[in-house]
Copies of this chain bind each other. A is one copy, B any other.
């Protein structure tokens, strides 16, 4: 951070900043003192459920966001008048209209002097790896997946992140739904036998693949399906071919999302050989050392773009959101 390399923003010694990472599985809000020192120390951290409006609907998503911010403030012993800036980085924010709707709602929740920012959660995830500087690419693979990038001219691009109906096959939901499909296909005679059948039924305490249909549609939550990823990974490690094929396809999908973004933004320069940071975030990329999906994705990307520089962030995306709010707020001299 060039303009406060002493680790402290001038004149900022009171008030707090809120950073929110709103995912499809959980939502995290951190409260940071506005007088910033390295290493980053959070005053408080609150956790709630899903805040992706495409998964749980807008009302529930907003309620979750409101509660998690209120809880973080209360844990830090602060109230809304002490907030200098808020950055909501939420999955499912895909279009300027999504952004505007959330911003309008947020406006009603804080005093008018508070600086407010709404982004897709990928932006905060990138910031968590680059310490607030927006440059490079981030890949998130949790319940959902998305690749997002921004180049040094400020041009942005994204790939995937469109949810389960729109081909988000590399995500946790994608991996798990393909595993469930493989169980159904093995059961009805359309596919090869797989140890996924026993392993998934055991995990869900069901006695027959027929019961999977009812289980699947009993609850529309995407996270509930994606929670089966560890079973797919352990089946692959045991040597199950079907599970291995699903994971390899997931790696291919995730790598393709990254290369599409890098290509469109020319993040590796015109010759395709320049270096660029690739921030790796999400449970799918960290799930298992023996079958390391994240490592395989990097291998795959580096075949096309050898300048890839993988970053596993030391701070979480919610802190990235707070750093982003700060960075922008400071740049815009909002408090001077």
Given contacts A162-B184, A211-B95, contact A217 B157 (CB under 8 A): no
Shortest Cβ gap from A75 to chain B (Å): 32
The verdict on A204 contacting chain B, using a C-beta distance below 8 Å, is no
Are A225 and B184 in contact, CB atoms less than 8 angstroms apart? Answer: no
Are B188 and A260 in contact, CB atoms less than 8 angstroms apart? Answer: yes
Are A98 and B165 in contact, CB atoms less than 8 angstroms apart? Answer: no
Q: Specify which chain B residues have a CB less than 8 angstroms from the CB of A190 in the assembled complex.
A: 159-160, 256-257, 260
The verdict on A230 contacting chain B, using a C-beta distance below 8 Å, is no
The verdict on A332 contacting chain B, using a C-beta distance below 8 Å, is no
Are B94 and A214 in contact, CB atoms less than 8 angstroms apart? Answer: yes
Interface size class of A (residues with CB under 8 A): 35 or more
Q: Specify which chain B residues have a CB less than 8 angstroms from the CB of A157 in the assembled complex.
A: 188-189
The verdict on A177 contacting chain B, using a C-beta distance below 8 Å, is yes
CB-nearest residue of chain B to A217? B54
Q: A193 to B163, alpha carbons, bound, how many Å?
A: 21
Q: Looking at the complex, which one of B94, B98, B188 makes contact with A158 (CB distance below 8 Å)?
A: B188
CB-nearest residue of chain B to A185? B167
Q: Looking at the complex, which one of B92, B98, B212, B256 makes contact with A166 (CB distance below 8 Å)?
A: B212
Within A265-323, the residues touching B (CB, 8 Å) are none
Q: A166 to B177, alpha carbons, bound, how many Å?
A: 6
The verdict on A97 contacting chain B, using a C-beta distance below 8 Å, is yes
Q: A258 to B27, alpha carbons, bound, how many Å?
A: 44
The verdict on A249 contacting chain B, using a C-beta distance below 8 Å, is no
The verdict on A100 contacting chain B, using a C-beta distance below 8 Å, is no
Contact digits for A37-64, partner B, Cβ 8 Å, 1 yes 0 no:
0000000000000000111000000000
Contact digits for A155-191, partner B, Cβ 8 Å, 1 yes 0 no:
0011110111111000000000110110011001110
The verdict on A261 contacting chain B, using a C-beta distance below 8 Å, is yes
The verdict on A74 contacting chain B, using a C-beta distance below 8 Å, is no
Q: Looking at the complex, which one of B162, B213, B216, B264 makes contact with A213 (CB distance below 8 Å)?
A: B162
Q: Specify which chain B residues have a CB less than 8 angstroms from the CB of A78 in the assembled complex.
A: none
Are B214 and A95 in contact, CB atoms less than 8 angstroms apart? Answer: yes
Are B217 and A188 in contact, CB atoms less than 8 angstroms apart? Answer: no
CB-nearest residue of chain B to A58? B218
Shortest Cβ gap from A106 to chain B (Å): 19
The verdict on A80 contacting chain B, using a C-beta distance below 8 Å, is no
Shortest Cβ gap from A275 to chain B (Å): 21
Shortest Cβ gap from A184 to chain B (Å): 5
Q: Looking at the complex, which one of B97, B210, B213 makes contact with A54 (CB distance below 8 Å)?
A: B213
When A and B form their complex, which 8 residue pairs have the shortest distance between CB atoms, in order from nearest?
A167-B181, A189-B260, A54-B217, A159-B188, A94-B213, A190-B260, A162-B184, A165-B177
A selection of 15 A-B contacts at a CB cut-off of 8 Å is A54-B214, A94-B210, A95-B210, A160-B190, A162-B213, A162-B216, A163-B213, A164-B165, A166-B212, A166-B216, A167-B180, A167-B184, A167-B185, A189-B261, A190-B260
**Known A157-B189, A162-B181, A163-B213; further 4 A-B contacts with Cβ < 8 A:** A160-B190, A164-B165, A165-B217, A167-B181
